[in-house]
Amino acid sequence: MGSDRRYFGTDGIRGKVGQPPMTPEFVLKLGWAVGRVLASEGRGLVLIGKDTRISGYMLESCLQAGLSAAGVDIRLVGPMPTPAIAYLTRTLRASAGIVISASHNPYDDNGVKFFSKDGFKLDDAVEMAIEAALERPVEVVPSRRLGKAERIDDATGRYIEFCKSTIPAADALHGLKIVVDCANGATYSSAPYVFKELGAEVIMVGAAPDGLNINKDCGATAPQRLADAVLSNQADLGIALDGDGDRLIMADHTGEIVDGDEALFIIAEGEYREGRLKGGVVGTQMSNLGLELALRRYGIPFERAAVGDRYVLERMQQKGWTLGGESSGHIICLDRTTTGDGIVAALQVLHEIVTTGRSLHDLKQGMQKLPQSLVNVPLTERIDVTRLPRVREAVRTVESALADRGRVLLRPSGTEPLIRVMVEGQDGGEVQRYAEQIADAVREAADGDGLAMAASS
């Protein structure tokens, strides 16, 4: 993302509700700016969905007013997963789709993210045009041209049918007992029905949103609750989604957590076996080395993008590949849909379970995760520590010791003066020791002469 952006981050605009930019005044103007930019040709139609945060009511009204002032018609679908809005924007031939959500964040955060008419996240040029429009005063169209708003009552049903269509009709889930944790979020009214209608016995967790409990000790960011529920109910597996439904974390019948890397491997291995895998797989800098090594055994190419599903998608499109994802559970199946979708990704894993007759626990054994150690090192100011000789020497020493059995990554935080030191290898104790060794070098080099040298270079 360009440093000249004032509002947009890697996934729309997000913040604490009541504080800039998540104020009613700003969001109303944002709706107007979006209407001017995205629906500049003709009257335009914009779809608005939201997750279950209490602030969604307020922000939805603000966006609706701004879009109407710009002369844009609105279709409201209420609480719906983010990937559902991407799908419906496409199928309803809307000019754009808007999701009011802060994804996996707590309830008192919220955000606004956007999809183009094709169901993809907006490109940089469009986001910059919206930012430019935000600097201009609001100009309300004549009354006869004000946008109208309508509710779509069958939106959830449409999305449920779409999800079911992403696996073969023969893939009945009869006989499977599945725990589904909806994080008290946007999937509570769709995910249970997808799996039930395919024949599974479904035990619900985190499906009673009250506006304040979204992501609270549940869902993809707190999967231990899912694992415990799988064990207590003697279920075959568990599926945890996050507040807006674009992440997937699973649990097998033994209560072991299955993260995004492992789910991505299971899908890739299955598509490769069936001859459906197009090209290779895109992960991120944080993807476990075990994923790369497991794919290599099958001769499946693997590339790493910057952290963030936006960058994963960009690399997939550049390569012409259709499968990619992150350890956090964002999994993009471009041959199925245009964005990360937790329900769709879960169905692809279930397809492998049904077609192979193997359990989730068995399927994930094809990838052995390597131990990772992550150490956060605070800095007094933002500097590029990778240019400091002492740090470079420490990294070279560790990389030489690990050889091809591990890797080192130094990654600056995007929001604060902090460097994340990650070391990955085959021995947990060794990895922890190496990570601390490099972290110590960063601390020492960033003091005194090292800091002065970095600042002057």
Q: How far apart are CA 394 and CA 386, in angstroms?
A: 10
pLDDT computed for residue 67 by the predictor: 97
Strand residue runs (E) in 190-322: 201-205, 237-241, 248-252, 257-258, 281-284, 302-305
CA angle 155, 32, 70 (to 5 degrees): 85
Per-block mean pLDDT, blocks of 10 residues, the chain (457 long): 74 95 98 88 85 98 97 97 98 96 96 96 92 96 96 96 96 96 98 98 98 98 97 98 98 98 98 97 95 97 94 97 97 97 98 98 97 92 86 96 92 79 95 96 76 45
Q: How far apart are CA 260 and CA 329, in angstroms?
A: 4
pLDDT computed for residue 322 by the predictor: 98
Q: How far apart are CA 234 and CA 92, in angstroms?
A: 41
Q: What is the pLDDT of residues 62-86, one digit of tens each?
A: 999 999 999 999 999 999 999 999 9
Q: 378: which strand partners?
A: 418
Q: What is the pLDDT of residues 262-276, one digit of tens each?
A: 999 999 999 999 999
Q: How far apart are CA 117 and CA 184, in angstroms?
A: 28
Query: Per the residue annotation, which of 55, 95, 103, 189 is the catalytic one?
Result: 103
pLDDT computed for residue 263 by the predictor: 98
Q: How far apart are CA 424 and CA 254, in angstroms?
A: 26
Burial bucket for residue 374 (CB in 10 Å: 0-12, 13-18, 19+): middle
Domains within the chain, CATH numbers bracketed: 13-153 (3.40.120.10), 159-366 (3.40.120.10), 372-456 (3.30.310.50)
Q: How far apart are CA 237 and CA 105, in angstroms?
A: 25
Find all residues with CB under 8 Å of 323, minimum gap 6, and list them.
264, 267, 268, 271, 277, 278, 281, 282, 316, 332, 333, 334, 335
Q: 201: which strand partners?
A: 177
Specify the pTM: 0.92
Is the peptide bond prior to 21 cis by the omega test (within 30 degrees of 0)? yes
Strand residue runs (E) in 222-322: 237-241, 248-252, 257-258, 281-284, 302-305
SS3 at position 97: strand
109, two tokens: 């955060």
pLDDT computed for residue 282 by the predictor: 98
Picking from 363, 356, 279, the residue whose alpha carbon sits closest to that of residue 322 is 279
Residue positions counted in the chain: 457
SS3 at position 28: helix
pLDDT computed for residue 414 by the predictor: 63
pLDDT computed for residue 204 by the predictor: 98
185, two tokens: 């979020």
390, two tokens: 């002492």
pLDDT computed for residue 456 by the predictor: 44
103 part of the active site:
yes
Q: Are the beta carbons of 186 and 101 closer than 8 angstroms?
A: yes
Pick left, alpha or beta for residue 217 (phi over 0 → left; psi -120 to 50 → alpha; otherwise beta).
left
- φ and ψ at 19, to 5 degrees? -115, 145
pLDDT computed for residue 2 by the predictor: 46
CA angle 360, 354, 220 (to 5 degrees): 40
95, two tokens: 């000019």
Cα 67 to the chain's mean position, in Å? Answer: 27
Picking from 16, 78, 28, the residue whose alpha carbon sits closest to that of residue 52 is 78
CA angle 196, 202, 203 (to 5 degrees): 155
